[in-house]
Amino acid sequence: MSADKKAESLEEMRLVLLERSPEVYAEPLPGPREDFLVQKEIEAIAEPRVAATAGALVRMWLTEKDSFYLDWALTYCRQRKVGPTKTTWELATKLAELRYYGKDQPARRLAILKEHAKQSMMFLMINLIYSGGKLEAAASSAAMIFKTLYPHLKPYKASSLEQIYSEQIRRTGIEEEYFRIYRESGVGKDFQESFERVRKIVPEVDTELKGERR
C-alpha cells in the first residue's frame, strides 16, 4: 500500500471511529437547540451518520461549554465535505465573536482528544474481537493504531489497553451488549471489512508498546 493510500485509510478510520462514538447515538437536547438544528440541516445534504456526528459535537459544546468541541464540529464538516448550513454558520460566527471579546472558555483540547482516542480504541477492539480476533491481539493492534492515529498524544501500552478493556468493557457487559446488537441487527459487510483492513495496515506491536500483562 502506498504512503498516500495508507494515510487516506488512517484518516478514514479516524472519522469512522468518531462516527461510532456513543454520544452520536444520544438524543438531542430538548428545545430544539442548535445540536438538533445542525443535525436536521445536514441530514438534507449528507448521510444520517454525518449529520448525527456533527450534531453530537455541537451538543458536546453546548453541554461542556468548551470551544474545542465546536472547532471539532466545523472541522469534521469540512473533512466530510459538508458545506456550511444556516446554523453551523451562525455557530461559527458566534464562536468568533466570543473569541474576539475574550469570552470563550480555554479549550481542553488534549484532554478531550485523549479521552475520545481511548474510547475509540475500546470500540475498535470490540469490533476486532467480534470479527474473530483475540483480546491480546486486539490490544496490540489498538496500541499501534493509537500511536499512528494520534501521534501528538502519549501512547498506551498494549497491556494497559487490554486491562482497560477487560475492566471497563468486558466485565461491565458492554462487550456482550455490542455483540448482541450486532447479531440481532446485523452488521454491514463493508463496516466489518473496514476493521479487517486495520489488521493489514497496522504492524505488530513493538517492544516499547507491549508492556507487561498482569
Per-residue pLDDT tens for 140-176?
889 988 988 888 899 999 999 999 999 999 999 999 9
Contact 157, 210 (CB under 8 A): yes
> 104 or 99: which carries more pLDDT confidence?
99
The model's confidence at residue 177, banded by pLDDT at 50, 70 and 90, is very high
Judge whether 113 lies within some domain.
yes
Please report whether residue 214 resides in a domain.
no
pLDDT of residue 77: 97
Cβ contact 157:207 at 8 Å: no
Q: Are residues 78 and 113 in the same domain?
A: no
Say yes or no: 135 and 193 in one domain.
yes
Scan for cell 491480546, then name that residue. Answer: 136
Does the pLDDT value for residue 88 go beyond 60? yes
Q: Which cell is 149 given?
A: 492515529
- Statement to judge: residues 40 and 118 lie in one domain: no
The verdict on residue 212 lying in a domain is no
Check residue 37 and report its DSSP letter. Answer: H
Residue 21 has pLDDT above 70, yes or no: yes
114 shares a domain with 202: yes
pLDDT band at 2 (very low <50, low <70, confident <90, very high): low
Residue 119 lies in a domain: yes
8 A C-beta contact, residue 114 and residue 153: yes
pLDDT digits (tens, 9 = 90+) for 34-76: 999 999 999 999 999 999 999 999 999 999 989 999 999 999 9
Are residue 114 and residue 82 in the same domain, yes or no? no
User: What stretch of H or E contains 73?
Assistant: helix 67-79
Based on the fold, state whether residues 75 and 122 are members of the same structural domain: no
- Tens digit of pLDDT for each residue in 100-128? 888 887 678 889 999 999 999 999 899 88
* CA-wise closest residue to 164 among 186, 146, 180: 146
Whether 213 is in a domain gets the answer no
Whether 53 and 113 map to the same domain: the answer is no
Q: Where a domain ends, among 100, 125, 148?
A: 100
Q: Are residues 135 and 176 in the same domain?
A: yes
Q: Which of 100, 134, 151 lies at the terminal end of a domain, its last residue?
A: 100
Residue 3 has pLDDT above 70, yes or no: no
Range of the domain at 155: 109-206
Q: In the listed set 57, 75, 100, which residue is the last one of a domain according to the structure?
A: 100
Q: Is the pLDDT of residue 214 over 60?
A: no
For residue 155, is the peptide bond before it cis, meaning its omega torsion is within 30 degrees of 0?
A: no
Which pLDDT score is estimated for 1? 59
How much is the average pLDDT of 78-88?
95
Q: Please indicate, yes or no, whether residues 74 and 37 belong to a single structural domain of this protein.
A: yes
85 and 146 belong to one structural domain: no
Residue 135's pLDDT band (boundaries 50, 70, 90)?
very high
77 located within any domain: yes
Q: What is the pLDDT of residue 7?
A: 72
Helices (H), 80-206: 86-100, 109-130, 135-149, 158-165, 174-185, 189-201
| Consecutive H or E run containing 14 | helix 3-19
Q: Residue 190: what pLDDT? A: 65
For residue 213, what pLDDT is reported? 55
- Rounded (5°) CA angle 10-207-214: 105
147: cell is 500511536
- Give the pLDDT band of residue 186 (cuts 50, 70, 90): confident
